């Protein structure tokens, strides 16, 4: 009995089972491919975050497309990368480079770090926390970051509004305005008070001057009255000594009868002199 060699016909295709096809594609997906840094980006908060004083805020960052970030450096920073808020490096959290302002106030949530997603919680918000923040993913072949703003509001000023800063500026400027108005009011009050004091002193001086003039006039009137009374008494005494004596006075240069005028003060004095027997030379001429 003779044996014949049988050679398979490779010209014919043999269909492969379907599970072999899916297994091959699955293994290809599991093979690490070379990362193109131009296609990777870091996605952070898309808009400014508002936080109230004393409360907690959470910052989220992830890679797009999703990549394993467990072996990457993830740095949370303030304004610039050297101002460290929180640092993840070498699969552990490092606190030696953390700013004193954020010590014991941060907590990193890395449950989804293998998908390139992490969250950072910041506790006990204070007004000084307001400003620019960012997160940076760093590996051997790429470095990308995302930045955003944190706005801090007090409890009496909730919500973000465009007039917030203007209102705060008004609160700061209002005391200065009140101080200026108070200074002007005090200035005008003192000026008015000085004017009133000046007028009062001037009135007192005028009053003293008028009082002095009135006193002088009163003294002169009293002197004239006393002089007239003394002369009258002297005339009465002389008339009492010579009751039957009558005088007829004829003035050389002036006659009361012709002019129709009353006797003047000088005429009365001439009469008094005549009553005492004093005859001026002008009468005897």
Q: Is 267 helix (H, G, I), strand (E, B) or coil?
A: helix
What percent of the chain shows pLDDT beyond 70?
A: 66
Q: Which position has the higher pLDDT, 163 or 58?
A: 58
Q: What pLDDT, on the 0 to 100 scale, is given for residue 53?
A: 93
Handedness of CA 208, 210, 216, 221 (dihedral sign): negative
Closest by CA position to 269, among listed 249, 252, 285: 249
Distance of CA 21 to the CA centre of its chain: 77
Q: Tell me: pLDDT of 168 over 90.
A: no
Residue 41 phi, psi (nearest 5): -140, 160
Lowest mean pLDDT among 18-22, 190-194, 212-216: 18-22
pLDDT above 90 coverage of the chain, percent: 39
Mean of the pLDDT values across residues 171-183? Answer: 86
pLDDT of residue 251: 46
CA proximity to 58, closest of 50, 67, 69, 66: 50
pLDDT of 48: 93
Chain-wide mean pLDDT for the chain?
77
Longest dimension (CA), the chain: 224
| pLDDT at residue 119 in the model | 96
CATH 2.60.40.10 fits 37-159, yes or no: yes
Q: Which residues contact 90 (CB under 8 A, 6 or more apart)?
A: 73
Q: Report the distance separating Cα 93 and Cα 110, nearest Å.
A: 11
Residue 59 contacts residue 122 (beta carbons within 8 Å):
yes
Query: What number is the average pLDDT over the span 81-100?
Result: 95
Reported as a single tens digit per residue, the pLDDT across 61-77 is 999 998 999 999 999 99
Query: Any idea where the domains of the chain sit in the sequence?
Result: 37-159, 248-284
Mean pLDDT within 190-211: 89
Give the mean pLDDT of 158-169. 59
First-to-final CA distance of the chain: 220
- pLDDT higher than 80, residue 249: no
Is the pLDDT score of 224 beyond 90?
no
- Specify whether the CB–CB gap between 117 and 59 falls below 8 A: no
Q: What is the tens place of the pLDDT at every residue in 104-141?
A: 999 999 999 999 999 999 999 999 999 999 999 999 88
The two counts, helices (H) then strands (E), for the chain are 5, 10
Instruction: Say yes or no to pLDDT of 213 above 60.
Output: yes
Mean pLDDT confidence for 265-271: 54
Q: C-alpha 256: how far from its chain's center?
A: 92
Average pLDDT over residues 188-217: 89
The distance from CA 211 to its chain's CA centroid, rounded to whole angstroms, is 55
pLDDT for 217 beyond 80: yes
Contact 68, 94 (CB under 8 A): no
Listing DSSP states for 133-178 in one string gives: EEEEEE-SS-EEEEEEEEEEE-TTS-S--TTHHHHHHHHHHHHHHH
- What confidence tier does 267 reach under pLDDT thresholds 50, 70, 90? low
């Amino acid at each position: 009995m003779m044996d014949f060699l049988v050679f398979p016909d490779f010209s014919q295709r043999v269909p492969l089972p379907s599970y072999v096809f899916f297994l091959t594609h699955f293994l290809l997906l599991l093979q690490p491919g070379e990362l193109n840094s131009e296609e990777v980006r870091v996605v952070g908060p898309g808009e400014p975050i508002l936080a109230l004083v004393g409360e907690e805020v959470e910052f989220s960052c992830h890679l797009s497309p999703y990549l394993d970030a467990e072996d990457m450096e993830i740095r949370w920073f303030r304004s610039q990368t050297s101002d460290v808020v929180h640092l993840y490096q070498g699969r552990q959290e490092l606190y030696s480079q953390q700013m004193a302002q954020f010590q014991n106030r941060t907590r990193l949530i890395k449950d989804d770090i293998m998908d390139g997603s992490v969250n950072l919680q910041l506790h006990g918000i204070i007004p000084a926390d307001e400003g620019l923040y960012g997160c940076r993913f760093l590996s051997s072949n790429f470095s990308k970051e995302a930045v955003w703003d944190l706005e801090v509001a007090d409890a009496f000023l909730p919500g973000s509004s465009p007039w917030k800063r203007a209102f705060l500026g008004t609160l700061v400027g209002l005391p200065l305005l009140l101080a200026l108005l108070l200074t002007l009011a005090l200035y005008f009050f003192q000026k008015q008070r000085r004017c009133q004091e000046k007028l009062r002193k001037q009135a007192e001086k005028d009053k003293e001057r008028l009082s002095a003039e009135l006193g002088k006039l009163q003294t002169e009137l009293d002197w004239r009255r006393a002089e007239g009374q003394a002369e009258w008494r002297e005339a009465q005494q002389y008339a009492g000594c010579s009751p039957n004596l009558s005088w007829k006075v004829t003035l050389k240069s002036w006659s009361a009868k012709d002019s129709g005028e009353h006797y003047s003060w000088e005429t009365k004095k001439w009469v008094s002199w005549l009553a005492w027997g004093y005859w001026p030379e002008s009468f005897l001429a």
